[in-house]
């Protein structure tokens, strides 16, 4: 495909990261189509210059050269592609489906097999970076797939990512790297929450504790980002507790398949599951700190 030709890309899932990715595609000059069930997200993308933004891809699927899926889990990916109104059957042969949800390697391989029956290519391409990086077109992509698939979505990758890691040609490798990354992310949030809970118990002001850690060796990106929410008492979900119940569950499944012990990840999984069971599943993942009793946490200040 000539780099100067028009490229039609459909972004399915216009949440915090999908919206940023879609807007980044528009800024890069790609003909961008969006799909989501949220009418506000659809209107936002239309205002950003999308070719179309609808609750279904049916009306424009046959025009697409590439599809970027940024939905919550494998069940949603499978439903969108192969369900009753499945997109896969409506795409033209040779279209690349870039699956950027966090899923297991086994699910990624199954999806590739089904796409192949429709003469479609797959890029196993999980992403990281959060809403802020997505909005800037600076996500990190950890991808595996054929050279042909990489070549055909190069302009999409250029639009949405500042770093693209080619893990290999085998579908499932990208997903495995993302799962290992999520092990670290989940453990960092859980450890940060434990540290801040101990500070609260000891009577240390949490804003002071936060400042010390973020200017010292114990800091991590996850601590700095998520424990800010705790200090502010703001648990509006950027990434929810239940997302890490899912992702650390995938970590546990991967470890089980490899017969490999993960003591820290197992503890973090139990912490997030406890938070979900306590009713905090839809809150920001920093709400895992709420599983600790006997402490008083900051409350969100009223906005002026």
Q: Does domain 177-291 sit in CATH 3.40.50.10860?
A: no
Task: Break the chain into its structural domains and give their ranges.
Answer: 8-171, 177-291
Whether residue 3 is predicted with pLDDT greater than 90 in this model: the reply is no
Residues 6+ apart with CB under 8 A from 284: 226, 229, 234, 235, 236, 237, 238, 239, 240, 241
Global confidence as pTM = 0.93
- Of the candidates 167, 164, 139, the one whose C-alpha atom is nearest the C-alpha of residue 70 is 139
The two tokens of residue 198 are 């101990």
Q: How many CB atoms lie within 10 A of CB 10?
A: 29
Supply the pLDDT for residue 16. 85
Whether residue 1 is predicted with pLDDT greater than 90 in this model: the reply is no
What kind of architecture, by CATH, is found in domain 8-171?
A: 3-Layer(aba) Sandwich (3.40)
Supply the pLDDT for residue 303. 46
Supply the pLDDT for residue 301. 78
| Same fold? 8-171, 177-291 | no
Whether residue 4 is predicted with pLDDT greater than 90 in this model: the reply is no
Supply the pLDDT for residue 131. 87
- Of the candidates 265, 264, 272, the one whose C-alpha atom is nearest the C-alpha of residue 288 is 272
Whether residue 210 is predicted with pLDDT greater than 60 in this model: the reply is yes
Query: Which positions are catalytic?
Result: 178
| CA-derived radius of gyration, the chain | 20
């Amino acid at each position: 495909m000539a780099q100067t030709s028009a490229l039609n890309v459909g972004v399915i899932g216009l949440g915090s990261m999908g919206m940023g990715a879609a807007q980044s595609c528009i800024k890069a000059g790609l003909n961008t189509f969006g799909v989501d069930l949220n009418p506000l997200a659809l209107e936002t993308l239309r205002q950003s210059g999308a070719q179309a933004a609808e609750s279904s891809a049916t009306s424009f699927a046959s025009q697409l050269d590439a599809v970027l899926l940024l939905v919550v889990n494998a069940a949603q990916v499978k439903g969108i592609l192969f369900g009753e109104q499945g997109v896969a059957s409506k795409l033209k042969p040779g279209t690349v489906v870039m699956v950027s949800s966090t899923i297991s390697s086994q699910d990624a391989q199954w999806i590739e097999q089904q796409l192949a029956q429709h003469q479609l290519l797959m890029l196993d391409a999980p992403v990281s970076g959060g809403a802020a990086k997505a909005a800037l077109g600076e996500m990190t992509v950890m991808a595996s797939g054929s050279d042909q698939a990489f070549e055909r979505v190069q302009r999409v990758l250029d639009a949405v990512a500042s770093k693209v890691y080619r893990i290999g040609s085998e579908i499932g490798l990208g997903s495995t790297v993302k799962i290992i990354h999520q092990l670290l992310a989940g453990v960092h949030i859980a450890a940060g929450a434990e540290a801040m809970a101990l500070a609260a118990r000891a009577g240390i002001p949490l804003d002071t504790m936060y400042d010390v850690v973020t200017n010292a060796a114990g800091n991590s990106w996850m601590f700095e980002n998520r424990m800010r929410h705790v200090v502010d008492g703001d648990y509006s979900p950027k990434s929810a507790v239940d997302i890490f119940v899912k992702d650390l569950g995938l970590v546990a499944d991967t470890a089980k398949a490899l017969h490999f012990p993960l003591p820290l990840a197992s503890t973090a999984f139990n912490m997030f599951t406890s938070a979900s069971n306590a009713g905090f599943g839809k809150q920001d993942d920093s709400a895992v700190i709420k599983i600790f009793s006997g402490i008083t946490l900051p409350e969100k200040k009223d906005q002026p």
